[in-house]
Amino acid sequence: MKHNERSGLLFALAGFALLSCGDAVVKSMTGLWAPTAIATTRYVLGAIGLAALLAQRQGRAGFTVPLPRVQLMRGAAVAMATVGFFSAIFVMPLSEATSITFTSPMITALLAALFLGEPARRETWIASLVAFAGVLVVLRPNFAVLGWAALLPLLSAVGMSLLMIGNRASAGKATPLAMQFLVAAMASPLLIVATLAGHFSGIARFAVHWPQWSVVARCALVACSASFAHWFIYMGTTRAGAASIAPMTYVQLVVALVLGWLLFGDVPDAVAMLGAAVIVAAGLYLWWAGRSRAVQPPIANAPDTNAG
């Protein structure tokens, strides 16, 4: 049992670290192509690859679409999160953009109360307030320089939170591979529309031209690395449990900080690091509160729900 949990944590660690490596590859394309076009290419290639794998493993049955509206919401959420984050890391340090996206667990908890009727506990409100205080600290220098563009990581965090809501609503309706394909397949046409809208908007940053071959190759690399990362995280979840691997997600921030420093010369100042630490602390507090509540002993004289 301990061996399974240890290997599960290592799988999760590798998965979350690989996600940040993919983010660094995306940031290396700054100024080479529009972030919307990069996001579109990444998901179109991912959808094609996942479709081939799904066809091989499950045949035509794997392409059914349970709860179509929910699947469309998942695709729209991923499209919003991806465009928001790719655009953010083009204009701000990788580690700072990554740290702001870690508000996603708190946003998810609040949205779950709104859309799924899950109770918003006191711990959720405390963690959310602390996390957003950390966001304000991280945004302090960026907002003065970038203006409203500094809020792009928050847009990404909201998108990821909506994806989590969609995942909960459609849990168990298809295999993990099919669910991964569906989100890529639903996101791709929406990203194509976003790319066209950006191109004709007149904003130079979103203008699309014929890319260098290396840009397309890097998009393919990101598509592959992200698919492997999600598979690693899934393996970690099955072996160690979702609650156990949750803190491993913060390795993304460490890897983003190291890669941002080594590859792009991005060294966040002490105040930004303090804000990132506050966001991480809020997330860990929310995780700890959830685990503590889950392991509380049953109330005395409670009815036995396992009888029979």
**Residue 86 burial by CB count (10 A; 0-12/13-18/19+): exposed, middle or buried?**
buried
CA–CA distances in Å: residue 151 to residues 26, 78, 107, 207: 19, 17, 15, 21
Lowest mean pLDDT among 89-98, 101-110, 124-133, 138-147: 138-147
- Most confidently modeled range among 135-149, 190-204, 257-271: 190-204
Lowest mean pLDDT among 6-15, 93-102, 123-132, 176-185: 123-132
Angstrom distance (rounded) from CA 283 to CA 123:
11
Contact 97, 20 (CB under 8 A): no
Say what the pTM is: 0.85
Q: Is the pLDDT of residue 18 over 70?
A: yes
What angle in degrees, to the nearest 10, is found between the helix axes of 2-27 and 213-240? 160
Amino acid 112: pLDDT: 81
Closest CA to 26 of 284, 298, 220: 220
pLDDT bin (cut points 50, 70, 90) of residue 198 is very high
Contact 74, 170 (CB under 8 A): yes
Q: What is the mean pLDDT of residues 60-74?
A: 94
pLDDT bin (cut points 50, 70, 90) of residue 24 is very high
Q: Is the pLDDT of residue 301 over 60?
A: no
Amino acid 298: pLDDT: 44
Query: pLDDT tens, 137-178?
Result: 887 766 666 677 778 888 999 999 898 888 888 888 889 899
Amino acid 136: pLDDT: 78
Amino acid 73: pLDDT: 95
Amino acid 305: pLDDT: 37
Angstrom distance (rounded) from CA 177 to CA 113:
28
User: Residues 6 or more apart from 128 whose CB is under 8 A from it?
Assistant: 103, 106, 107, 109, 110, 282
